[in-house]
Amino acid sequence: MTASDPPKEDGYELPSVPWFDEDSTQSPVWEVEVGKLAAPSAITFADAPSDAEAAARAAAAPMRARLQNLGMIARGGMSTIRRVFDRNILRQVALKVLLPEITVVKGSSLLLDEARITGQLEHPNIVPLYDLNFDRKGAPVFTMKLVDGSTFTQYLRDRRKQAVGRRLQDALQVFLKVCDAVSFAHSRGVIHRDLKPDNIMVGSHGQVYVMDWGCALVVEAGEDKVSLGRLPRSGALEQRGVVVGTAAYMAPEQACGRTDEIDARTDVFSLGAVLYQILTGYPPHGATSPGASLELAQRCEVMPPAQRVPDEALPEGLCQIAMKALAAAPSLRYASVAQLKEDVERVLAEGLWLASRTFSPGSLVFSEGDPADAAYIITAGECEVFRNEQGRRVVLRRMGPGEVFGETAIFAQQPRSASVEAVDALTTIVVTREALESELCKGSWAGAFVRALAKRFRDVDARLSEMRRDAR
């Protein structure tokens, strides 16, 4: 799209902003009492701007001429987000405005808080705010980055049919960036209170943004904290008994309206809920109605991921992390988002994000001659590696926790050269061929070395087997 050929409008009339109107000779400046945000009805006009300010604003293009409406993107309970084209900068941006049926008195302070919080949280993974203005009724109107991509909800849905390991590896990279954004917000004294896949955008080139800070709670004051021009926890939606957010992802203290108990661990819970959905495809408090979800959130009896989707071999390590973050008592959760992120990174580094599988005593993991589709890391129990030579079972080795088997057949691209049987209850991490090749960068020099070594090992092993048979 170019500036001379933008998409058609949908008939919506953009709000009139006084200092962008051609016939406006004065620009309003909102007077706010220090430490207290004035009610919109009490806002008054200050003196006229200086000659320089007036000249600059007079030179600005009228808002309606500058921004071309391209249609609604989303509609919430109090506001809409519209796609608009900025003819000055020649780019599309997102415009957030109050719904016409919402009174200025009811919605103005909430939208203004959201704009100020978003604008002060400057982080690569938080959606940037571009500009804040007011319409003639005193209602805030702000523009922000228009993200070209999809919600994390859609991202996960599109990948649901992928192999568990690959799906989790990609999704966890997004999750870690979300953790970075939320951890930064916490350092600035802000709790999001509505973290969910729908409020996470994944850009077309891998960008990740945490969106919609309309439910955010400022819990600390200070020079390095976000400021709303009033004391923390003093807004209308910040009082005990008020419930805001999305029930399917809520911590119990939030669902019960215990606003004074909300802190960083409340967002940790919601991040655990996002991780739960990454694992299972469902939110922890999913139900047929918001009211039913709220009741589930208040009780906080979360079904373990492996029970929610029993047909999938979910990684035990990630399931444990999710359930710790989803603990009903805040004291049992991670104390910070940084701690949660550290555990997820450890799981990724150690390969614990891969699927796990348990074999009963005496069962075969695979048989000699089978095609090689995975390697295994033993986390519990023992197994025996053996061959059948001239009708006799020949035990080659016994293996236990921490040891690996099945990898050489994958690297050498050959069938299994031996059988593996569980001696007792054997729990393994299953490393698929795809995951191995991904980690070794298929086609790289490192991968070539590993494959060559695996083939030589197989050749030596085959010659030793022949020597044993000849000796008999």
Active site (catalytic) residues? 194
- Between β-strands 356-359 and 404-405, what pairing exists: parallel, antiparallel or unpaired? unpaired
Q: Coil, strand, or helix at residue 277?
A: helix
Q: How far apart are CA 178 and CA 165, in angstroms?
A: 20
Q: How far apart are CA 3 and CA 293, in angstroms?
A: 46
- Between β-strands 149-151 and 208-210, what pairing exists: parallel, antiparallel or unpaired? unpaired
Q: Measure Cα distances from 108 to 37, 44, 63, 79, 125 in Å.
A: 11, 15, 20, 10, 26
Torsion of CA 177, 183, 188, 193, to 10 degrees: 90
First CA to last CA across the chain, in angstroms?
79
Buried b (16+ CB within 10 A) or exposed e, 31-52: eeeeeebeebeebeeeeebeee
Residue indicated by tokens 């009082």: 239
The single-letter code of the amino acid at 272 is G
Contact 73, 81 (CB under 8 A): yes
Q: How far apart are CA 355 and CA 308, in angstroms?
A: 15
